[in-house]
């Protein structure tokens, strides 16, 4: 690693060795389709002319690039439409479409005397600009002028996405994030060529979008009692606790966010989660429930409300819409009418996941519906609901999408499926001829812990960066033609602020971006993680938070043949050294170095570890209780 660092420094000191060291400094995420590195380098002048056709969408690209160059590089930027004028950077729309590039692909040529980006569409120019920015020094991400040598390697890049659907989902219901924070998230997404933000707008904890014909959804349904701690285990709110925590987006806010995304070639897909996860709607309009007493319900603040046991999902209060009532469908028609006008994107996500049916089973209305429609079980009741909702959505000119539970009981004729409970739902739906977006928990759930659970807010599963990088959107057995793409999902039960949103998204978002953009054959963990580390440095410049869990070791405790507790430790990134202590002091590189399974001393209470690269600490100090190690191997009495 010392040799690599020396080479990295040398390329800024001398141009002579640049051609040999360029591969060590090139860190593009997602990996382009084809990259040819050439000798020499492009030096960004102080006075930069950007030549481009000044059409509306191309101007969006040139203004974006201008902001980056003036903000961090302090360049004086001039925009010109005259193709004959000399220019340091040229953006060109192909007169004859390059069929290889498609709508979002680009060709980027960086030479010693200038930069040329060509594409069929403005979106391709935008993504070419993102790659150009990644070729510049990390200081380009700063919000203040930086005095460094503004150079980029000479390259010839041909690039285009593998999938048209490249998304991240942000849950703004469990905790509300402001319009400005959503804009920040969009800005971070487009750096890595994501083109879809899926906004989870409604749930038991809050209804986040203004529906003018149903005002109580936001005057009542958008607020709960503020709680901190571990979501799901909060104490029940008392009557005197103020219900002032939350918020919602006005329709003008939504229009502004949609336009903000559009200006960055990103769509926003709304999700209204029904028929389950609908407590905020039921509290606002109790007549939507099939259960007596719903008028006494309150919007959930994170108290225990759902049981996920072997016998299926059971709700302690009825958080479902009544599938047997016409009032439900009249309500949904009003909601879809307004939402369809706010979001130009062609799909509306209608949830359908984790619908607890124990209150339906007790409902006379639902039983009557089953008899009338010849529905054999509760899955078919939900299917009846989904098909009617699909008809409503299609009447508004939109396509219906739901989580993979909507397969159970029978899919509607044109429903698209988002597969989250692993990959099987996506395989099944595609074989039935339905469009699919893959977002399996196995690889793409960003709310999962990304380091050891002693370091992370507790949720029910873990997802390391290297596992997320294994995401393959077209699983064996699926009809590849119907796989639209993939996305990662960030549920926010345990995410209380926007800095934690960033922490949970990155770097696993890098892995997802590469899985949905780059060719499958180009994915390689050993080339990926060094690029991730270079982007950590870029995030430091941008002051974007990220998780350093990739440097934290995995712990594997077990009992040896002498019935003594031992622990093995491994790291995702190779070449790191682990130092440890059992005496409650904080280890550094002068402490014992891990070389193999370590026996835990009989009376030890804490194992402390830290990772180093050479002489430099790189990981976090981790304190692992010995009692936790014993619990993991199932020792009784612990």
What secondary structure, in 3-state letters, does 126-140 show? Answer: HHHHHHHHHHCCHHH
Of 423, 293, 406, 291, which Cα lies nearest the Cα of 349? 406
pLDDT at 10 (0 to 100): 38
pLDDT at 635 (0 to 100): 59
Same domain, 194 and 74: no
Residue 329, domain CATH: 3.20.20.80
Same domain, 102 and 246: no
Same domain, 106 and 251: no
Cα separation, 526 vs 442, whole angstroms:
21
Same domain, 155 and 172: no
Residue 397 makes CB contacts below 8 A (sequence gap 6+) with 340
Residue 565, domain CATH: 2.60.40
* Cα-based distances in Å from 345 to 126, 166, 340, 478, 592: 19, 14, 9, 25, 57
Domains of the chain: total: 3
Cα separation, 349 vs 199, whole angstroms:
9
Same domain, 138 and 39: yes
Same domain, 112 and 204: no
Same domain, 275 and 343: yes
pLDDT at 25 (0 to 100): 65
Q: Is 304 a catalytic residue?
A: no
Low-confidence ranges of the chain (pLDDT < 50): 1-24, 636-638
Residue 262 makes CB contacts below 8 A (sequence gap 6+) with 344
pLDDT at 8 (0 to 100): 37
Choose, from 200, 277, 434, 535, the residue flagged as catalytic. 277
Cα separation, 167 vs 176, whole angstroms:
20
Tell me if 637 is assigned to some domain. no
Q: Which residues form the domain of 196?
A: 165-542
Tell me if 638 is assigned to some domain. no
> Which of 542, 573, 608 marks a domain boundary?
542
Of 196, 188, 190, which Cα lies nearest the Cα of 167? 196
Same domain, 146 and 196: no
Cβ atoms 402, 349 nearer than 8 A: yes
Same domain, 349 and 248: yes
| pLDDT, tens only, 109-120 | 999 999 999 999
Of 473, 472, 504, which Cα lies nearest the Cα of 489? 504
Same domain, 99 and 114: yes
Q: Is 452 a catalytic residue?
A: no
Phi, psi (deg, nearest 5) at residue 462: -120, 155
Same domain, 236 and 353: yes
Choose, from 156, 187, 256, 354, the residue flagged as catalytic. 354
Choose, from 203, 204, 271, 404, the residue flagged as catalytic. 203
> Which of 482, 514, 542 marks a domain boundary?
542
> Which of 159, 174, 191 marks a domain boundary?
159
Sheet holding 47-51, edge to edge: 34-43, 151-159, 106-111, 114-119, 89-93, 47-51, 76-80
pLDDT at 11 (0 to 100): 37
Q: Could you give the count of Cα atoms lying within 13 Å of 176 in the half-sphere of its Cβ? A: 23
Cβ atoms 381, 369 nearer than 8 A: yes
Q: Is 203 a catalytic residue?
A: yes
Tell me if 547 is assigned to some domain. no
Residue 296 makes CB contacts below 8 A (sequence gap 6+) with none
């Amino acid at each position: 690693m010392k040799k690599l660092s020396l080479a990295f420094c040398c390329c800024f000191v001398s141009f002579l060795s640049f051609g040999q060291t360029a591969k060590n400094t090139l860190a593009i995420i997602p990996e382009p389709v084809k990259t040819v590195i050439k000798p020499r380098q492009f030096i960004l002048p102080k006075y930069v002319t950007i030549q481009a056709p000044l059409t509306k969408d191309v101007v969006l690209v040139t203004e974006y690039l201008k902001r980056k160059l003036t903000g961090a590089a302090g360049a004086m930027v001039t925009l010109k439409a005259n193709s004959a004028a000399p220019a340091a950077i040229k953006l060109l729309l192909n007169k004859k479409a390059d069929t290889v590039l498609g709508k979002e692909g680009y060709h980027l040529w960086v030479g010693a005397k200038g930069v040329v980006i060509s594409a069929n569409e403005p979106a391709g120019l935008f993504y070419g600009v993102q790659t150009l920015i990644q070729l510049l020094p990390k200081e380009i991400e700063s919000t203040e002028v930086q005095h460094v040598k503004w150079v980029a390697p000479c390259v010839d890049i041909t690039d285009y996405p593998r999938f048209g659907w490249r998304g991240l989902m942000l849950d703004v219901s469990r905790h509300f994030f402001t319009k400005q924070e959503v804009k920040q998230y969009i800005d971070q997404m487009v750096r890595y060529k994501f083109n879809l933000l899926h906004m989870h707008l409604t749930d038991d904890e809050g209804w986040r979008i203004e529906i003018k014909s149903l005002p109580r959804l936001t005057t009542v349904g958008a607020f709960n009692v503020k709680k901190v701690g571990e979501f799901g285990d909060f104490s029940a709110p008392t009557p005197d606790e103020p219900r002032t925590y939350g918020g919602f987006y006005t329709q003008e806010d939504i229009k502004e966010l949609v336009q903000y995304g559009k200006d960055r070639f990103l769509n926003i897909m709304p999700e209204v989660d029904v028929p389950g996860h609908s407590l905020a709607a039921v509290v606002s309009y109790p007549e939507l429930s099939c259960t007596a007493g719903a008028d006494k319900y309150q919007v959930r603040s994170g108290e225990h409300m759902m049981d996920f046991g072997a016998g299926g999902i059971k709700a302690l209060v009825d958080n479902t819409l009544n599938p047997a009532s016409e009032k439900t469908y009249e309500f949904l028609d009003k909601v879809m009418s307004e939402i369809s006008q706010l979001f130009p994107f062609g799909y509306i996500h209608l949830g359908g996941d984790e619908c607890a049916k124990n209150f339906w089973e007790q409902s006379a209305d639902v039983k009557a519906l089953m008899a009338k429609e010849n529905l054999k079980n509760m899955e078919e009741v939900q299917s009846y609901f989904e098909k009617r909702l699909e008809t409503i959505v299609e009447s508004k000119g939109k396509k219906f999408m739901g989580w993979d539970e909507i397969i159970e009981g029978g899919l509607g004729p044109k429903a698209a499926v988002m597969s989250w409970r692993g990959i099987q739902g996506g395989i099944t739906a595609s074989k039935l001829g339905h469009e699919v977006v893959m977002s399996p928990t196995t690889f793409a759930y960003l709310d999962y812990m990304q380091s050891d659970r002693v370091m992370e807010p507790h949720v029910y599963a873990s997802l390391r960066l290297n596992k997320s990088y294994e995401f393959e959107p077209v699983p064996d057995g699926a009809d590849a033609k119907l796989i639209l793409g993939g996305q990662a999902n960030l549920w926010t039960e345990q995410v209380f602020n926007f800095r934690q949103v960033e922490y949970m998204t990155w770097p696993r978002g890098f892995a997802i971006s590469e899985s949905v953009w780059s060719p499958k054959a180009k994915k390689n963990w050993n080339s990926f993680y060094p690029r991730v580390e270079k982007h950590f440095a870029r995030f430091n410049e941008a002051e974007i938070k990220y998780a350093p869990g990739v440097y934290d070791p995995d712990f594997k405790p077990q009992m040896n043949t002498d019935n003594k507790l031992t622990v093995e430790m491994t790291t995702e990134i190779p070449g790191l050294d682990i130092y440890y202590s059992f005496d409650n002091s904080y280890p550094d590189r002068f402490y014992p170095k891990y070389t193999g399974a370590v026996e835990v001393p009989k009376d030890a209470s804490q194992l402390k570890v830290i990772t180093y690269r050479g002489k430099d600490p790189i990981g976090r100090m981790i304190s692992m209780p010995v009692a936790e190690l014993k619990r993991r191997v199932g020792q009784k009495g612990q």
